[in-house]
Structure formats: C-alpha cells, structure tokens
Structure 1
Amino acid sequence: MHEVDFRITSTGNRVATGPLTSDSSQRALIPARAYTTAAAHEVERERIFAAGWVWAGYAHWVAETGQVKPITVAGRPLLMIRGEDDELRVFHNSCRHRGMALTEEPVRVKRRLQCAYHCWSYDLDGSLAVTPYFQRERQGRGGPADPRALGLLPVASRVWAGMVFVDLGERDMDAATASFDRFVAPLAQRWSHIDFDRIRLADERVFDIAANWKLVVENFLDFYHLPFIHPQVGPVNSSLDVDDEALAPEIIGGCYPRGATGKAAKTSDALPFLGAVPPEKTESQDIFCVFPNALLFLEADWFQVIGFDAVSADRTVEHMAIFVDQDGTSEDHSVNRKRLAEVLFGVNEQDLPILEKLQAGRHSPASDRTSLVPHWDQVTAMFQQLVADRVGGPNAGDSRA
C-alpha cells in the first residue's frame, strides 16, 4: 500500500505531521464544519468545482441532434446541446439579452433554441440567429451589427468514456483540449485496451442523498467497510487484497484483484468484454475517484460511473450509470444486464443510510477527533489532502471564513 507523506502546508492548513505508520493514527485532515456549513460549501464550489475539470453529465443525455439538457455545475446553470454536426457543446444557460435561463427542462428542438422572454433564438452551435424587433423597427428584421458577439457563452467541455467534463475556469477552448488530455491521461493510458466508443448504457438511476459530497467520496474510497456493509461482495479477505493506487494526485483509488462485486452480479453467461482485455485484467476491478466528482468502477465486461452534483452542504445528487459493450445490449444478454444492474444499484443503496448517519455525526464536536488509520485510510487521506490544498487558508471550511 502506498503511504502519503502528510505535511503542514505553507498556508497553515492542519493536514498532518508525518506519514502514517503501523503504530500511529492521524486525525482527519478536514474539520467537521466543512461537512455541515453553507459557508464552507460555497468556498468549495468556487475553489474546487468552478476551478478545474469536473464531471458534468453523460453524453447519452443528448444523444440526438437538437437535444438540449440543462445541468448544474458549481451552482451555475449550464446547457448541454447536441449540434447539427453531431458535436456535444456546453454553454452557460443564460440568454445574452437579459440573462433568462433558456430552458429548465430537457427539450429537443429542430433548429434553434429560443428564449421565452423576447424570443431571441440561438442555433445549436450557440450562435445568435434571430432577434425580433432588435432595432425597434416595424419590419422586425434588423439585428445587432455583430451577432457573433451575442452568441451563447461557451464552457470548456470534453467527452470521454461516455462522460462529459467541464472546466468553468478555462476561457481558451484550444488550451482546454490540451489541459483535459493531461488531466485524464493516466487513466486513459491504464485503460487503453478499452474501446469506449463501443460502450452503451445498460441502466441508470438517480440517488438523492442527505449527505455532504466529501462523505460520498470518502465512503467510495473506503474498502474497510465492504465486508460489513456489502457482504455480498465477498469475505473480509477480499477487502484485504485491495491494492491502493494513486495514478495522479487527482486520480486515486484501488484495484480489486478478483472483482468480487462483479462476480456476484453475473449469471452463467458472461457479458462481452469491453475491448481487448489482457489476461491479467480479466478478473480484476479498478476503483477510482477522478477528483472531485467522478467515481468509476471498471471490470472486463462492465463500466460503472457515479457522477454527482454537490447541491449543498448536506445534499448530494448522484447520477449512476452502468455501461456494457454494444454487443452486450442484445436480447441474448438481457438477463445478465438486469442482474448486473440489480446488484450494482443494490450495493449503492446499502450505502445510503450509512452516508446519512455519517452526515449526522459530523454535527457532533467529537467529529473533529475522528482518526485516519494507517492500514486502511491512506487513499482517504490523499483525497482530504486534495480538498485541503484546493480550499487553502488556515480557516478553510470555517463558517466564520
């Protein structure tokens, strides 16, 4: 298992005094108030969710030309739009005249998206198309001298492995492409044997959880609880076999050498593999958090994503999707797909009461004395370090900050 060289940062954050050893524990690196206060949540929105690449949704939400899907990232209303050129683009959900949200429900339009306030219309690539009576003339055919200046404001976005990522802080669209490639490169290289162009949705579900987003991630990275909360995934010995993995500072998790969860989900007939899976990977399961809000599982024949919106300090909305190879969507594999979804959704449902109790516990002053133990919590410590470094400041998470 990898060990983290914990440290006190130059900004004064209390993060640790040294590496965890076999005979020491370390207090949690994030104060309890960071899980409960609106002020802390707002700081995290600005410094984490609005300041780098984050999961924003799924490409299949706008699979057809003209489909428009409103989403929210860091509290900002955005639009995912599938253009006539089949490109998926993301824009700020704000009319360039008076700022009205163009739609708050998924819609499909033929050519243009129209604002209901003054009927300004936009093409599917975000360009301004129609501005009725713009110059207050009776014919109503005039428009701005430079309509390009009043198109929908784009958001840096990329599609990878069926997911949509956005970077609200990036203004240079060309630079965004290189930035995203660097961001995802360690995982893309590890999974280079997977043909993600062939993955298709098997099932998806939304979970509305009364817990802070950081608890969602920490629970996901906690292999210690598996035999106690999810006994169907295997005995205690299975959890002892999980190897901690840190592919990059923002891609952390572990590798389950025998994929116990997947085995519980399968019937006698296997689903088709997701590409040319090497022999040494046919029995393993990768479990990674792509910081901050994409939680990924990969086995040889299925791919699961839990992407989430950190709505408030005590509410997280998960969008869980299960993907299989396109050959696995046939009727011949319907029983396996259904069984796989039942098991994976069931595992997630088992965590819901645990997360709500963890959230309740964060209101106790004793929560500031919780411990990270060396043999189980190294990856959790990596995550908490990321949060602390991003938020910064000696009073990070303080309701008085």
Structure 2
Amino acid sequence: MTVGPLDDRAIGTSILPADAYTDPAVFAAERGAIFERRWVWAGFTHWVSAPGSSHPVTVAGRPLLITRGLDGVLRVFHNICRHRGMVLSEEPSTRKRLRCPYHYWTYDVDGGLCGTPYWDRSKGSAPDEATRDALALLPVTHAEWAGMVLVSLGEPGRPLGEALAPLRERWAPVDLERLHLAAEDTYEIAANWKLVVENFLDFYHLPFVHPQVGPAAAALDIDDVMLADDILGGCYPRGAAGKAAKTSSPLPMFGDVPAALRDRQDIFCVFPNALVFLEADWFQVIGFEPVAADRTVEHMAVFVDRTAAGPEFEDARKALSAVLFEVNDQDVPILERLQRGRSSPAADRNHLLPHWDQITARFQVLVASALEGVDE
C-alpha cells in the first residue's frame, strides 16, 4: 500500500527525542522490547554452508551459535556450555565437534552432548542417556529465508512465513532459492542502529551523498511503500537509481522474472534489522547487530543468480559489488555525523517533511510504539 501523508504527530517535530539515539537505558529497553520479542536477522546461511560448520553470532546481547549438522540441517543454539555457562565458541569453525575450554565438555554440531571428562571423578565415566539428552545445547527458534537466518528469542507472535507474507507475495515471481553470494563485507559504524535504518529508508539524500545513482530527478521517481506495519520502504518502478549498478555484461535474472518487474528496484526494511534491496538480477542484504547506543555492526552481502557464479561473469560480479559497497562506504561518515548531532538537545526540534519523510516517520512510530509502557 502507498503511504499517506504524515499525521500531526510527525510534522515539524521529533517522534523520537535525541536521547533515544544516545541513552544506554533506551538502548537496553529497545533490546528487550524489540530484539527479544520479534523475528530478527541473526546471520547468513552461507556462513555455515558445509556440514559440520558453526558460526557464533550475537542477538540482543545474547551469544548464539548457528550450526550445520552432518545431516545438512541448519540449527541455532544458545552458545552456552550447559555445565557452567561459558561461551562455547567464539570463532567460526568447521570442526564436527565443539569443545568448551573450561572443563572440556564436548558437543556435536547438532547440539548433542558427547563428552564429559571424569563425570563422576572416575576415568571414562559418563552421564546416563537421559541426563546426556537433558544437557544438550539449548535450541533457539529460527527460520531461513532468502539466504538469511532469522531467530526469535522469545515466543514468536506469529510464524516467520506469516510475518513475511506480504513481501514474499510481492517477490513471488523472483526465485530467491537461486541466490549465489557475490561478495560480502562487515562495517563497524559509530552510530545508533535506528540511524542506520533511517538512512537506508531516506531517499532524499541519494543525489547529494551518492551522485553516482543519478540526479535529483531520480529520487523523485520513488514510491513510498508499506507492505505491513513492519515491512516498509520504497520502490523505483522503473529502476531509476539502479542504472549505476548495471554492468557492461548483463547478469542473469533470478529465474523467469516477468517483464514488468525487470527494471524495478525494491528497497525495504524488514523491521527491525534486515535491510533488503532487490532487482531482477541482484539482491543485497544489510543485516546488522546493535552493539551499543552509539555502535552498530553491519554485515552486507551481495547475491546474484546461481547461473552467474562462473568465471564468465566474474568481472560483472565484481563491478556490481564495487558499486554497492561504494554506496555503503559513502553512508558511513554520514551516519557518524548524524550520531554526533544527536548529542545536541537541538536535535529534538528536527523537522520531518511530509513529502520526503513519511517512511522515516513510520519507522520512528514503530520504535516508539514498541517502547510504550516499557517503564510502567
């Protein structure tokens, strides 16, 4: 649905005060009210592409572990040894077993407990089968979609498929099972996570910060779109901003994409921390971890169709990735200056524009609504 005009709450004022971007207490409240209660991006499936691999991640400050069992199944666990609660793994691994460095308890990548030295103080002793099963790694509710791993730390309000239904329906003609990783990078940004989202959804800045995407007229060609309260962004129906990311050697599309969608660009935030960018022949994801009130770690990945994995498309993949990474590089200093600006109480008087800031306002309302009643 197309977004309507801003209401009186949003025009000429700040929906979120300046200290919402700087106060550690607000940051802690957001972790509890948002990142512990919703489906959130946790990582990429290609991080554990090989059976027997594992990759530690952090969600809402909690250490988690993404694994790929020898059976090929992706699983997510709390990254905590069941004996004394030590973080089990701190580096990606391709070992089939994970060993706690404290007392050498050992786990299979499917979470099963398989080693407990001197269990009853005698050599070779071990717990009985029921105890062993009870002390397996604790699982985390998770799901996979479009190369991403999403988790729910609490009881999810609805299945991920239902939450993503509007976006999956919109993208139904695009076969996201065909994804092949072209490139990825990590960014450590001295800015609040909300500014990362707001900047991603701010199309007004494109011609000024990213001149390679085209003149100001290109930014006028975007339609604000809300597919649901928590899937919001914009669409270039004619791919105006995508011209800079086109390559001299065209890339294959994701399956049989209808002609009407072949020049369209979709840019969405899947609230709270998956920023997705789709054209018919490439897909970009920025998944991020809020680390502190003034620090965010971004993980950016660029995907192409699996038929573009060969050497004949290497130059095209590199050219595409270079353009997309350049755009993100240009945003980093902007985000950090925005963060420094939030240290001023004058930032409470930011003036949202009805013709440009509808999506920003909707995002801020979404955050504010999640925090309502937290302190009550």
What are the superposed Cα offsets for residues 196-229 of structure 1, whole Å, 9 maximum, x if unpaired?
2211000001111110000010011111111111
Separation of aligned partners in 2, 1:106 and 1:316: 20
Q: Distance in 2 between matches of 1:246 and 1:141?
A: 55
In structure 1, the partner of 2:4 is 3
Q: How many Å separate the matches in 2 of 1:273 and 1:132?
A: 53
Deviations 1:85-131 (A, max 9, x none): 11111100100000011111111113x22212112121222122222
Q: TM-score, normalised by structure 2?
A: 0.96
Which amino acid counterpart does residue 242 of structure 1 have in structure 2? Answer: I
Deviations, residues 154-194 of structure 1 (Å, cap 9, x unaligned): 11111100001000012xxxx78x61111111111111112
In the other structure, the counterpart of 2:15 is 29
Match of 1:94 among 62, 76, 80: 80
TM-score normalised over the length of structure 1: 0.90
5+ long unaligned stretches in structure 2: none
Instruction: Name the counterpart of 2:355.
Output: 375
Kindly indicate whether the alpha-carbon contact (under 8 Å) linking 2:117 and 2:123 is maintained by their aligned counterparts in 1: no
User: Partner of 1:264: helix, strand, or coil?
Assistant: helix
Question: Which shifted more, 79-88 or 113-122?
Answer: 113-122
RMSD across aligned C-alpha pairs, in angstroms?
Answer: 1.7
Q: Match of 1:348?
A: 328
- The one-character-per-residue Cα deviations of 1:57-90 (angstroms, maximum 9, x if unpaired) are 1000000011110100001011000011111111
In 1, the alpha carbon distance for the partners of 2:241 and 2:119 equals 60
Instruction: Tell whether the 8 Å contact from 2:6 to 2:361 is kept in structure 1 after alignment.
Output: no
Q: 2:198 aligns with which of 200, 218, 223?
A: 218
Which residue number in structure 1 is paired with residue 147 of structure 2? 162
> Partners in 1 of 2:369 and 2:209 — Cα distance?
31
Greater alpha carbon shift after TM alignment, 287-296 vs 100-109: 100-109
1:253 equivalenced with 2:254 (yes/no): no
SS at match of 2:252: coil
What is the match of residue 74 of structure 1?
Answer: 60
Alpha-carbon distance in structure 2 between the residues aligned to 1:82 and 1:92? 14
CA distance in 1, matches of 2:5, 2:319: 38
Question: What is the alpha-carbon distance in structure 2 between the residues aligned to residue 341 and residue 188 of structure 1?
Answer: 25
Q: How does 1:59-138 map to 2 (within 5 A)?
A: 59-110=45-96, 112-138=97-123
Identity among equivalent pairs (%): 57
Aligned pairs (5 A) from 1:123-272: 123-143=108-128, 145-170=130-155, 179-272=159-252
Report the AA paired with residue 64 of structure 1: A
Q: Distance in 2 between matches of 1:133 and 1:143?
A: 13
Query: After TM superposition, which residue ranges in structure 1, 4 or more long, deviate above 3 angstroms?
Result: 141-145
Q: From the superposition, tell whether residues 232 and 353 of structure 1 become closer, same or farther in structure 2 (CA, over 3 Å).
A: same
Work out whether residues 302 and 321 of structure 2, in 8 Å CA contact, stay in contact via their aligned partners in 1.
Answer: yes
Partner of 1:11: none
Partners in 1 of 2:180 and 2:116 — Cα distance? Answer: 40
CA contact (8 A) 2:13 2:349 kept: yes
- 5+ unaligned residues in a row in structure 1: which ranges? 7-15, 396-400
Q: Is the contact made by 2:33 and 2:374 (CA closer than 8 Å) also made in structure 1?
A: no
Q: Which amino acid is the alignment partner of residue 300 of structure 1?
A: A
CA distance in 2, matches of 1:218, 1:259: 21
Following the alignment from structure 2 to structure 1, what is the Cα–Cα distance between the partners of residues 5 and 238?
25
Aligned residues: 375
Moved more, 141-150 or 42-51: 141-150
Residue matched to 2:306: 326
- Tell me how far apart the structure 2 counterparts of residues 225 and 236 of structure 1 sit (CA, whole Å): 9
User: Partner letter of residue 173 of structure 2?
Assistant: H
User: Which shifted more, 140-149 or 151-160?
Assistant: 140-149
**How far is 1:136 from its partner?**
2.3
The answer to whether the 8 Å contact 1:131/1:143 transfers is no
Query: Residue 66 of structure 1 contacts residue 84 of structure 1 at CA under 8 Å; is this kept in 2?
Result: yes
Distance 2:81 2:92 in 1: 17
Q: What residue is the counterpart of 1:285 in the other structure? A: 265
Letter in 2 for 1:282: R
SS at match of 1:47: helix
CA deviation profile, 1:127-168 (whole Å, cap 9, x unmatched): 222222212234424446432211111111111000010000
Are 1:4 and 1:382, in contact at CA under 8 Å, matched by a contact in 2? Answer: no
Instruction: State how far apart, in whole Å, the 1-side matches of 2:344 and 2:126 are.
Output: 64
* Structure 1 residue 310, shift from structure 2 partner: 0.4
Work out whether residues 209 and 356 of structure 1, in 8 Å CA contact, stay in contact via their aligned partners in 2. yes
* Contact in 1 for aligned 2:218/2:241 (Cα 8 Å): no
Determine the structure 2 residue equivalent to 1:46. Answer: 32
1:4 Cα deviation from its structure 2 partner? 5.7
Question: What letter is aligned with 1:269?
Answer: S
Shift of 1:261: 3.8
